[in-house]
Amino acid sequence: MTRFWIGLASALAAAGLAGAAHAQASGGQASAGQAPEAQPQTARVKVETGVLVGEETDRARVFRNIPYAAAPVGPLRWRPPQGAAPWKGERDAAKAGPSCPQPMNADGSPNTGGANGPVSEDCLQLNVYAPKGAKAAPVMVWIHGGSHRTGAGWIYDGSNFARDGVVVVAINYRLGALGWFAHPALTAAAGGEPVGNYGLMDQVAALKWVQRNIAKFGGDPKNVTVFGESAGGMSTLALLATPSARGLYQKAVVQSGLGWFEPKTLADKEKEGAAALAQAGVSATTAEELRALPAETLVAVNAQFGPFTDGRVMTQTATQALARGDFADVPLIIGWNSGEDSLMGPGPLGQAALAQIPPMARVIYTDEAAKGDEALARALFTDRVFGGPARWVAAKAAPGQPAWLYHFSYVATRLRPAVPRAGHAMEIPYVWEYWGRRTPMSLVSDEDRAMATLMHACWVTFAKAGKPRCGAEDWPAYDPAADVLMEFGLESGLRAGFRKSRLDAVQAATLPGLGLN
């Protein structure tokens, strides 16, 4: 089974792991169940670098485009984030800032990460949604998805979290070859500085900014929850394994964030980086030449982007850290969706992929195999890349601070005639209780709203008190012996031994190849 999932996962990572479902959660001002708001009023706050002028709506005080680090341009490209420069007077914080450089749609529509509009390397900024009159409110820091190549923090409207007493911080971080890139020339020029994981270093810098500044917005720096989906979930797991991030947060939520990662060293990534440049037709070989390249040239570079063991910021994968018990022991929610195979595309799958299905899978996945190879391959992908890792992470975290495991299978009313399962990223609108710019509220049913009320409450109560409370049924912390998770679906509730034989099989086939000994 190992050969099959490695081939699929590698192909998807190279193509861009985040599916178009991210775009459905993209930003704007309309929210679930909300009437049009009154004209926003001006709001001011003073942070370490100066005065911000944002806006106050019916539900939140909102401050956008706040620099948490200096622009990583010129000699600062491919260097750890540096401190943001102070400004004089007042800074306009009512409008969203640019997204980090990434592939954009020519027609101006949101890309697969939900981003559109201007891009700039001067993108290390964040957005804050704070309850009005907040004092020592819980804080949630959102790390967006998008295959570490697309997306932006400004896409996500945290007003309903603020309405419910939570300060939300949504961050940008460097993407693609500007954020997750290693090259021998850059390593040689860096001296003793960390290299490669620039996006992860940005995330740590943003968390440090929160520690220094969030009290100004009414947030409690001692009650911070990091949460993210897809690449953001992968980043959250990486933060659990990153020593420099310890103490910057107290809880974590991982939505469709994988969990089993193949070890890649700095030397491995240097070779990949050099090869990716050559494939893109880039001839630059020195650090100076690389830093002089136009950002557009680097956006076109295609590789497997994301956290890796550079030996300085990350000394082990998140999988290795969890296996060894060497990770931040904080309360954790983790889970996955029933149709993560939406990342494989609408189908049909190619014969080369189907030919790699191992014979043993047909014995274990009898129901799926009876539906044909397409159904079998998709079930294998969802279980190996998302379901099995989520359950394993919950089990590894369970002996310390509690962990809660979930499975999301709810499909919106309007989508059910054509969509059989909950695709990648489809849980986001329910967590945020917000459908974004691309879904008119007239298409959101009462049943959809009820699911959003339920799931959003789980995340809010977890941020406030470290335990999710939602609905009439108590959601117990995960115990590997009992193997109980919460399913959010047409019939939500607790499930014991969910897909146990299948998840056991992919776990047994996968773990030996992840360098855990």
Q: Which residues are catalytic?
A: 230, 340, 424
Q: Is 312 exposed, middle or buried (0-12, 13-18, 19+ CB in 10 A)?
A: middle
How many CA atoms are closer than 13 Å to the CA of 162, on its beta-carbon side?
28
Asked if 289 contacts 217 with a C-beta cutoff of 8 angstroms, the reply is no
Closest CA to 496 of 472, 471, 476: 476
Helices (H), 191-345: 198-213, 231-240, 266-279, 287-291, 295-299, 318-324
Report residue 213: phi and psi, to 5°: -125, -20
Tokens encoding 372: 């044909």
- DSSP symbols for 33-71: T-PPPPPPEEEEEEETTEEEEEEE-SS-EEEEEEESS--
Which 3 state secondary structure label does DSSP give 242?
coil
- DSSP symbols for 246-272: TTS-SEEEEES--------BHHHHHHH
- Give the residues across from 335 on adjacent strands: 255, 406
Q: What is the CA radius of gyration of the chain?
A: 22
Which residues neighbour 429 within 8 Å (Cβ) at sequence distance 6 or greater?
Answer: 24, 25, 32, 435, 436, 439, 452
Distance (Å, whole) CA 290 – CA 294:
9
Distance (Å, whole) CA 310 – CA 324:
18
Distance (Å, whole) CA 6 – CA 2:
6
Distance (Å, whole) CA 7 – CA 180:
22
Helices (H), 434-499: 446-465
Residue identified by tokens 């939300």 is 168
Distance (Å, whole) CA 17 – CA 146:
7
Distance (Å, whole) CA 112 – CA 25:
11
Closest CA to 179 of 67, 88, 310, 54: 310
Which residues neighbour 491 within 8 Å (Cβ) at sequence distance 6 or greater?
Answer: none
